[in-house]
Amino acid sequence: MHFLVPVGTTGEAPTLSSEEKRRVIELVVDEVRGAVPVLAGAGGYDTREVIEAAHVAAAAGATGILSVSPYYNKPTQEGLYQHYAAVAANTNLPIILYNVPGRTGSNIEPATTERLAQVPQIIGIKEASGNVFQIADVRRRTPPEFLVLSGDDALTVPVMALGGEGVISVAGNEVPADMVRLVEACERGDFAAARLVHERLLPLLQANFIESNPIPVKAVMALAGLVEPVYRLPMVAPTSQTLQALRHIAVELGLLAETTSA
């Protein structure tokens, strides 16, 4: 992988304590040993708490932060700008914005991203709006050096065709080598090769959201023996139907043997 993102959505940050988040970041930093950047999750609906989380991430050794936009309180566009400007003013770490309106209840509009791209500490955005027109507009409005990253695995190829630089991936936890091949093919401009990888992975990319992320991806990783199938409330284990569908897809992709049982 080109970089790692501990304590993001798939890393179950909402149900981790502050101390657990710090420890997870430290463990990842220790394992990476400087080989790739570590972009730690540090977002939330209270600007003061996000600033503190950024300080914790820096102290734990992170080289940047991924900051999801404030959720539930649904700030205005000016509120979003002021929130991120305040975070940027209080950390030396580079910041990747994270726009995921389906989870947060508010959208960072392209005009606001354009403004934020002028803030020196803010170097990019993870765009998970699912709106290709919006993502294209963000790319058009922002400087070439501003990173536009897909927040949806299934949209990585079109986003990179529009000038995006990659993806912050859910499936990268299950099929990291395949996701790297897909992104690197796009970087070479070989979209025919990227499309072949995309088409092979598409059933998995879709199945990862049969139930709320990270339930399906964690289930697949548990079937493969990579993690324990432990879920903290309010997240719960997948239904038997979901697990059966995930097992079938994992077998088709060669992630599990035919005889693997739950």
pLDDT tens digits, one per residue of 55-81: 999 999 999 999 999 999 999 999 999
pLDDT in tens, 75-130: 999 999 999 999 999 999 999 999 999 999 999 999 999 999 999 999 999 999 99
Residue 49 lies inside a defined structural domain of this protein: yes
Over residues 146-170, the mean pLDDT reads: 98
From the list 74, 126, 218, 231, the catalytic residue is: 126
DSSP 8-state code for residue 198:
H
pLDDT at position 259: 59
3-state secondary structure of 215: helix
Last residue within a domain, chosen from 200, 223, 239: 200
Exposed/middle/buried for 251, CB within 10 Å: 0-12, 13-18, 19+? middle
Residue 218 annotated as catalytic? no
The mean pLDDT value for 153-165 works out to 98
Please name every residue paired with 181 in a beta bridge, in sequence order, or none if there are none: none
pTM, 2 dp = 0.95
Q: Each residue of 2-37: pLDDT tens digit?
A: 999 999 999 999 999 999 999 999 999 999 999 999
Are residues 185 and 220 both part of a single domain? no
Q: Which domain holds residue 250?
A: 210-262
SS (H, E, C) 96-130: EEEECHHHHCCCCCHHHHHHHCCCCCEEEEEECCC
Residue 260: pLDDT over 70: no
144 plus 21 within the same structural domain: yes
> Domain check: are 254 and 149 in the same one?
no
Q: 221 and 109, same structural domain?
A: no
Helix, strand, coil percentages, rounded to 5, for the chain:
50, 10, 40
Catalytic residue among 21, 81, 84, 98: 98
> Is 74 a catalytic site residue?
no
Instruction: Read off the CATH number of the domain in which 47 is found.
Output: 3.20.20.70
Across the chain, mean pLDDT equals: 96
Same domain, 150 and 229: no
Identify the pLDDT of residue 262. Answer: 46
